Amino acid sequence: MNTRELVLDMLLTLEREGDYSHRLVKSVLDKFDYLEARDKAFIKRTAEGTLERQLELDYYLDCYSSLPVRKMKPLIRCLMRMSVYQLLYMDSVPDSAVCNEACRLAAKRGFGTLKGFVNGVLRKISRQKEALPMPDERREPVCFLSVKYSMPEWLVELWMDEYGRDITETLLQGLLEIHPVSLRFSTLLSKEERESICGEMGETGMEMTRSAYLPYLYLTGGYTENLANLPAFALGKCTVQDVSSALAVEAAGVKDGDFVVDVCAAPGGKSILAAEKAGSGRVLARDISEEKRSITEENIGRMRTGNIQTQVFDGTCTDETLLGRADVVLLDVPCSGLGVMGKKRDIKYRVTKKGLDEIEKLQRQIVAASAGYVRKGGTLIYSTCTIRREENEDMVRFISRELGFEPVSLEGIFPEAVLAGKKRLEEKMREAGKDPGAGLTEEEACACIQMLPGYMEADGFFIARFRRR
């Protein structure tokens, strides 16, 4: 099996069929599980890195190629991108091997007449890679950051308007950093049991570091493929869940005996954690399709969580039988996903301004249809995995001012380390002349938090807490 050709086919599939990269990478690695760990690591890094750095790679190619990237044949375009990524970011691969393999693949796939073009462009970049051209940082700051961090210019402009230049660059750096897998241990385990399992995992080559925010969540390094084969994972003692997702449940303050409704539950991480905290209570986990319900059911079964019921239900519709019954309603609504681009690398190329307008409408429909499930005095948690005021702070105003919910401060609920990160970010925003409150009242601002990669050890995530009056 030629690993480079496999990566080339993956990139072509993503370009032609529009599949999501994280799903495709997983399916390919599962299919070729017999490959050595080194080969699988090469496939994963080359495919994901090429996607993540695509705008930057295209910029360099356009500088050194007589043919613009957009006019290249799809196969040559993907081949050139993955080859330049190897030249610039994979020091263990000799430049000569990259160039020779690219020419060989071009010929093998029917483009033998372009071997000279492929070789010439790659050799130029190889010779100049220590001094590659960049946009002028002073005259074109947005273009400079766009190329340096491979982020569409309109997203760079969006964040610069909201946060200023320095915070935006830190955020962009954070999105490009290596994101370790987050393992959330069952809260029903004791500290001693967790530490014993971590020791066992360490013996397999995994590196386990406890989260600075939650004692039952660990960040993993080293060998993290095929987690499903780990005994603790298979036995339901841990699951993959980012700390930001777990914090949304922590914000809810779920107590023993509570009835929790998770409106957009898949893949079920929040529902399972809420069920552990609810004890003798129960959780109703809903989502829009049978496929999503099946994913949630699979995770519930593996974690052996007995107090959860799953249903297929459209969150934009109101279930009259649930009105005023829930102690807690979790609304982790569909969003643009701008906060998880470090894990889902093609989001930034798919999201559009028109699509963002549509997602805002959907969010309001779901919130308006489901907020009534909260009993008087009960808790509503609104959350997204994005970094954008229209989907976050504007929704806080909508829930508070139009739906009549009372904002509840996160002080005393959230870990102090998280709140300290929030305060540092707010100070940085004021230094940049930006309003951290984004037009919110003091009560509304205290009830929500925007987590930013680069400033906090978590995905880009937004959480807000409310009480029904």
Range of 93-97, 282-286, 357-361 with top mean pLDDT: 282-286
* Spatial contact of 387 and 463, defined as CB atoms under 8 Å apart: no
Question: Average pLDDT, stretch 327-331?
Answer: 98
Question: Average pLDDT, stretch 358-363?
Answer: 95
pTM of the full structure: 0.92
Q: pLDDT band at 17, cuts 50/70/90?
A: confident
Residue 223 above 60 pLDDT? no
d(CA 233, CA 239): 6
Percent of the chain with pLDDT over 70: 98
Residue 222 above 60 pLDDT? no
pLDDT single digits (tens) 176-198: 987 788 999 999 999 999 999 99
Query: Please, is 437 exposed, middle or buried when counting C-beta atoms within 10 Å of its C-beta (0-12, 13-18, 19+)?
Result: middle
Q: pLDDT band at 1, cuts 50/70/90?
A: low
Greater model confidence, 141 or 201: 141
d(CA 89, CA 68): 22
Res 226: pLDDT:
64
pLDDT single digits (tens) 226-250: 677 788 999 999 999 999 999 999 9
Q: pLDDT averaged over the chain?
A: 93
420 Cα distance to chain centroid: 22
* Spatial contact of 446 and 409, defined as CB atoms under 8 Å apart: yes
Percent of the chain with pLDDT over 90: 81
Greater model confidence, 353 or 323: 323
The two tokens of residue 154 are: 């309109």
d(CA 5, CA 156): 33
Res 228: pLDDT:
73
Question: Average pLDDT, stretch 445-464?
Answer: 94
Residue 410 above 60 pLDDT? yes
Residue 35 above 60 pLDDT? yes
Res 467: pLDDT:
98
d(CA 18, CA 412): 44
pLDDT single digits (tens) 113-164: 999 999 999 999 999 999 999 999 999 999 999 999 999 999 999 999 999 9
The two tokens of residue 417 are: 């380390």
Which stretch of 178-187, 295-304, 329-338, 385-394 has the lowest confidence by average pLDDT? 178-187
Residue 66 above 60 pLDDT? yes
Residue 225 above 70 pLDDT? no
Angle, alpha carbons 267-271-273 (nearest 5°): 110
Greater model confidence, 439 or 227: 439
Residue 224 above 60 pLDDT? no
Q: Which residues of 402-428 are buried (b: 16+ CB within 10 A; e: fewer)?
A: ebebbbbbbeebbbeebbebbeebbeb
